[in-house]
Amino acid sequence: MKKPMSIDSKLSAVDRLGRRMAARLDASAQELPHDISERLRVARLQALDRYRAAAPAMATVSTTGTAALLTGDEEGRGFWPRLVSLIPLLALLAGLVLLQTQGDDSLTEELAAIDAAILTDDLPPQAYADPGFAQFLKSRLQAGKD
């Protein structure tokens, strides 16, 4: 029976594969003609420049292994873009207030209907507080189900 591979052994296998691929690419890069290797070098530098220009707010890793989030330049972020970014938060708050208000209204209506039923019923309100009456209602409901 095979033993399951741990995460460390999977990472080391990936590292070994990466090192072998890098070694083969380095060896074959030595065999390329000079003009092709120069074009590849220039293309690599252009790609790195585009990457750096397109992603100024990427996380970078320092030599200690901790990550720092760079916010990029704050130019072009005036008052209106910041105000517009608050719209989703305001919509969320308005929705929560609306839900709370509707919940309170429905609960109030339900309690008012119960109070009206109790007050218009033939039984006195003290009968509802009697534990025997609660048992009577439970037995009546169970008999109605059968």
Average pLDDT over residues 23-43: 83
Residue-level pLDDT at 93: 92
Q: What is the pLDDT of residue 62?
A: 47
**SS3 of residue 61 by DSSP:** strand
Map residue 70 onto helix, strand or coil. coil
- Name the pTM for this structure: 0.29
Q: How far apart are CA 39 and CA 16, in angstroms?
A: 29
pLDDT score at 77: 66
Write out the H or E segment, with its range, that includes residue 117. helix 87-120
Q: What is the pLDDT of residue 92?
A: 92
Of 103, 133, 106, 105, whose CA–CA distance to 118 is shortest?
A: 133
Residue 67's DSSP bridge partners are 61
pLDDT digits (tens, 9 = 90+) for 37-91: 888 888 888 888 888 887 665 545 444 555 555 555 555 567 888 888 889 889 9
Output the pLDDT for position 9: 58
Task: Say which residues have a Cβ less than 8 Å from residue 71's Cβ, sequence separation at least 6.
Answer: 57
Give which of 72, 74, 67 is closest to 52, Cα–Cα. Answer: 72
Tens-place pLDDT, residues 107-142: 888 888 877 777 777 777 777 778 887 777 777 767
